[in-house]
């Protein structure tokens, strides 16, 4: 199966999971959650966004969101019916 997008939709499960799950869902969720959580706890200013605490929030939220986004992409791929459950997987 080709990995090139067809009509803008990735054609392999791994590519779909990274493109839809991670790039379109996980990363924005992680970044906005980190900013929102940090702003709610410490206030939002340019000085506070450059602090070590914010970087810890950002890295941890983005890390978990990337993992969750990949799993979301795989689940969404299977729910969309693109891959039969008993099909042989490519090595």
pLDDT, tens digit, for every residue of 24-63?
999 999 999 998 888 888 888 877 777 888 898 899 999 9
In a domain, 16, yes or no: no
Overall average pLDDT of the 13-18 stretch: 89
In a domain, 10, yes or no: no
Work out the number of other CB atoms within 10 angstroms of the CB of residue 62.
19
Q: Which domain holds residue 59?
A: 22-79
Q: For residue 9, what are the β-bridge partners?
A: 6
What's the pLDDT at 46? Answer: 77
Q: What is the CA radius of gyration of the chain?
A: 17
Cβ atoms of 57 and 38 within 8 Å: the answer is yes
In a domain, 39, yes or no: yes
In a domain, 15, yes or no: no
6 three-class SS: strand
In a domain, 91, yes or no: no
9 three-class SS: strand
Total domains, the chain? 1
- Residue 88 — very low, low, confident or very high, per pLDDT cuts 50/70/90? low
Residues making up the chain, counted from first to last: 91
- The whole-angstrom separation of Cα 75 and Cα 73 is 5
């Amino acid at each position: 199966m080709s990995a090139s997008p067809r009509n803008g939709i990735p054609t392999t499960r791994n590519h779909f999971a990274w493109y839809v799950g991670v790039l379109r869902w996980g990363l924005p969720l992680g970044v906005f959650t980190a900013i929102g959580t940090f702003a709610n706890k410490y206030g939002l200013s340019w000085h506070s966004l450059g602090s070590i605490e914010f970087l810890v929030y950002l890295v941890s939220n983005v890390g978990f969101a990337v993992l969750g986004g990949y799993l979301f992409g795989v689940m969404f791929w299977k729910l969309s019916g693109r891959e039969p459950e008993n099909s042989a997987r490519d090595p």
